[in-house]
Amino acid sequence: GSCFPKDTKALHWLSEEEGYVLRTVKAAIEVNEKQRFKLIKKARQDFPTFQGLKIAVLGLTFKPGTDDLREAPSIPNVRLLLNQGAQVHAFDPVGVENFKKIYPTQVVYEDSPEKALEDADLCFVFTEWDDIKTIDLNLFREKMKTPYVYDGRNCYSLSAAKEAGINYQSIGRPDVKEFKVKEEIVL
């Protein structure tokens, strides 16, 4: 849960105060920090820059069923996307008001996943809300400019992503690379 990072950091700090280094705890903290940007690293392989891209973000809270943003992966990832010139369109069923306290005007807040996906170049899934998990995957292909989906919560099956014809990358599973950009014919 959201307390784990806080607790490991406190344990690490307390042990260092007493002159000890708990290498396992320190390693866990480092791994967790790197995990936060794993989806961004995957997206970088497909999009060398986020400048000027419309990016859909589905899910802002740490977990479904709460408006809690503590340790939410959306916060540092949205910060990075905005800093790199992306246009972020976000959907979350309950976390928007709290997220607006951090990004009051820099993010476009949408009232449905479909609106967030409209003409998006790529999409990040950060929270596994039912509203997000139950999306017909064909909507990614139909609504997005290019259906590249980076899912940090493994909301969708690989076979469904393949059937929908989208590029789908999740955590700890093989990538699905089904969408191909049509090349323009130059005469």
**CA 56 – CA 112 distance, rounded (Å):** 11
> pTM for this one?
0.84
Domain that holds residue 45: 38-177
pLDDT of residue 29: 44
Number of domains the chain is built from: 2
Query: In this structure, is residue 30 part of a structural domain?
Result: yes
Cα gap 134→156, rounded to integer Å:
9
List the CATH number of the domain containing 106.
3.40.50.720
Residues 54 and 95 placed together within one structural domain of the fold: yes
12, 25 Cβ separation under 8 angstroms = yes
Q: How far apart are CA 27 and CA 154, in angstroms?
A: 24
Residues with catalytic annotation?
A: 3
In a domain, 183, yes or no: no
Regions of the chain where pLDDT drops below 50: 29, 185
